[in-house]
Amino acid sequence: MVIITGAAGFIGSCLISKLNNKGMKDMVLADDFSPASKKNNYSHKVFREMVDRRELFSWLEKHPREVEFFLHIGARTDTTELNRSIFDELNLNYSKAVWNHCTENGIPLIYASSAATYGDGKLGYDDHDPQLSFLLKPLNPYGESKNEFDKWALQQSRTPPVWYGLKFFNVYGPNEYHKGRMASVVFHAYNQITDNGLQMADHPSSVIRPPSSVRLFRSHNPAYKDGEQLRDFIYVKDVCDVIWFLMNHRKNSGIYNLGSGRARTFLDLANAVFASLNKNPRIDFIDTPEDIREKYQYFTQANMKKLQAIGYDRPFRSLEAGIEEYVQGYLLPGLYF
């Protein structure tokens, strides 16, 4: 049996499909299943049962020897949330309880960390030295909560039999309809172009824009031209492929980056969305709001050599290929993975 937390969410629900496609059906889904906006993420998939995340540990006490793997993907991911107590409860303390249960019961664990732990990137994006986690300075409480758990995990003398903390970079793909302003830039750009929304692509807000155009932030850094700010975008199916690999690898525990390993510009992304819709690009730039300028990241790129060194050799989709599949296979027909 496999436990998946955050199972009603974006990455978690995609993992259910990945495991179903591999013939796995004995899964227990843990999450807050009350939002109706998430129901289509899991309603047509095959699994054993659903457990409210608040009841998960009570449920686990009744099934101590049945769990074979634990995928802890659930978290509060709102980077604009400033209430640290929420992150302490959901991202830090809940994760410690998951870790301790896996340790006490000999269960392999994969948990979701984040590239937000790297902060402004001045110390690089390298996952080889575990001690780097103790030097990082994330830019928001979300990133801090993820880094605090990474540091806590690295300090534990008692651990699950094998464990992986995955620093997700900018993940995009199907099953993120419910995420609102926290959905990917690809999702927001698609909605702008198809006139389904009035939000900015690279930082959603209630800004009115011309129809069928994408608005991106103007650069306020002389080293970067407008729209040439860089991010490491990774397609969610590639994320699932890596997790499947690690579920079978079961050695070389530690914290790993999970990005494509290649930084691309927001202009590249916007142009790829236009191309997937067979439309000519129309891109407008506005100033980055002053309240976020100092915390704005101009570059992220995962060093992926550590994962490759333990045997992962599957290529990641290009930004253009991932966006084309996402837009044409899921967004246009309104389908789920």
Q: Which amino acid is at 85?
A: S
Catalytic residue list contains 142: yes
Catalytic residue list contains 256: no
Among residues 179, 235, 256, 326, the one annotated as catalytic is 179
Q: Please give the Cα distance from 144 to 146 (Å, whole number).
A: 5
Q: Which amino acid is at 40?
A: N
Tokens for 170, please give them.
């900018």
Among residues 42, 111, 125, 142, the one annotated as catalytic is 142
Catalytic positions: 142, 179
